[in-house]
Amino acid sequence: MKVILMFVLLGLITGTLVVAQKSDEATRKLWDTAYITPAAGKNTGRRRASRKYHIATPNVPVDNVVPESVVGVTIWRLRPAGRADSGERIIVHDDNAAKEYVPERISANTKLNAGDRVRISVEAARNGYLYVIDREQYADGTLGEPYLIFPTTRTLGGDNQVKVGKLAEIPAQEDNPPFFTIRKSRPEQVAEMVSVLVTPTPLEDVQITDKAQKLSEAQVAKWEQSWSNSVGRLEMETVGQAWTREEKDAAGTRALTASAPPPQMLFYRPKSSEAMFVKLRLSYRR
């Protein structure tokens, strides 16, 4: 009887481990990564504590969020790699020489210097199409003309489809160069206003060309009015984490699992499953 009971317990334990392993290896659901800061004194475990988000938009509730509408965004700033760096490197061919850089996460409030090299990774909770728009912002609050900086045929060959569990990198690792260089067009420019759109179907009247193209202000305003209402943002409490192997591979053939590093920012909208239009203000250091 004891022997039978031992085998039963062993089977239960083994089954539990297999289920846990499969759950950990399964393609993650993006909204499930949103471990919001717990109440003071509440112990939630090491793994959960390492993923804490805070609510950056307290006026937008986190209740009744449609999980399929969530969009994750991470901004990376490149710095020269050192011998002691453990993060993944990206190879940049500069001045006929190959140099290694480490992408590090920055927050939406990080001040940038002219000449900084940045990359953007986007993760969607459903399949769709990705568009990125950039506008300059000046000291008086006015905005420059909107330019579609992604997709172009020079980045990912113009392929702007997003898939669950995969990272869309802008620019891609294979692009030359695999980064954007931040530069002011005039002294009074104070920020770059970056808009990220994820739509279930391709946008009409948008032609993919070999370079950034100027868009109609009226058209961009229409998209923003339709899809940016009541958009909230969660942001991880820690910054500076280096690019990982999982994130590097997730832009290729492997999907992100539940244990992979979550996006730096999560954008959400309660009670809506339409397209998402989210905005980021990347400020220049004075």
Say whether pLDDT at 19 is over 70. Answer: no
Q: Hey, which residues does 93 pair with through a beta bridge?
A: 98
Using the predicted structure, report yes or no on whether residue 25 has a pLDDT greater than 80: no
Question: Per residue in 142-179, pLDDT tens?
Answer: 999 999 999 999 888 889 999 988 899 999 998 888 99
Contact 76, 48 (CB under 8 A): no
Contact of 120 with 172, CB cutoff 8 Å: no
Residue 238's pLDDT band, with cuts at 50, 70 and 90, is confident
pLDDT of residue 21: 37
Number of structural domains found in the chain: 1
Q: Among the residues of the chain, which ranges form H helices? A: 2-25, 46-49, 217-227, 245-249
Residue 17 within any structural domain of the chain: no
User: HSE of 172 in the Cβ direction (CA atoms, 13 Å)?
Assistant: 19
pLDDT of 122 above 90: yes
Average pLDDT, rounded, for the chain: 83
Q: Judge whether 234 lies within some domain.
A: yes
Flag whether 2 is in a domain.
no
Indicate whether 7 belongs to any domain.
Answer: no
Is residue 19 situated within a structural domain?
Answer: no
**Which range of residues forms the domain containing residue 139?**
28-283
Say if 255 falls within a structural domain.
Answer: yes
Question: Tens digits of per-residue pLDDT, 181-194?
Answer: 999 999 999 999 99
How far is it, in rounded angstroms, from Cα 120 to Cα 125?
Answer: 17
CA distances from 60 to 106, 146, 208, 270 (A): 23, 27, 34, 8
Q: Is residue 226 part of a domain?
A: yes
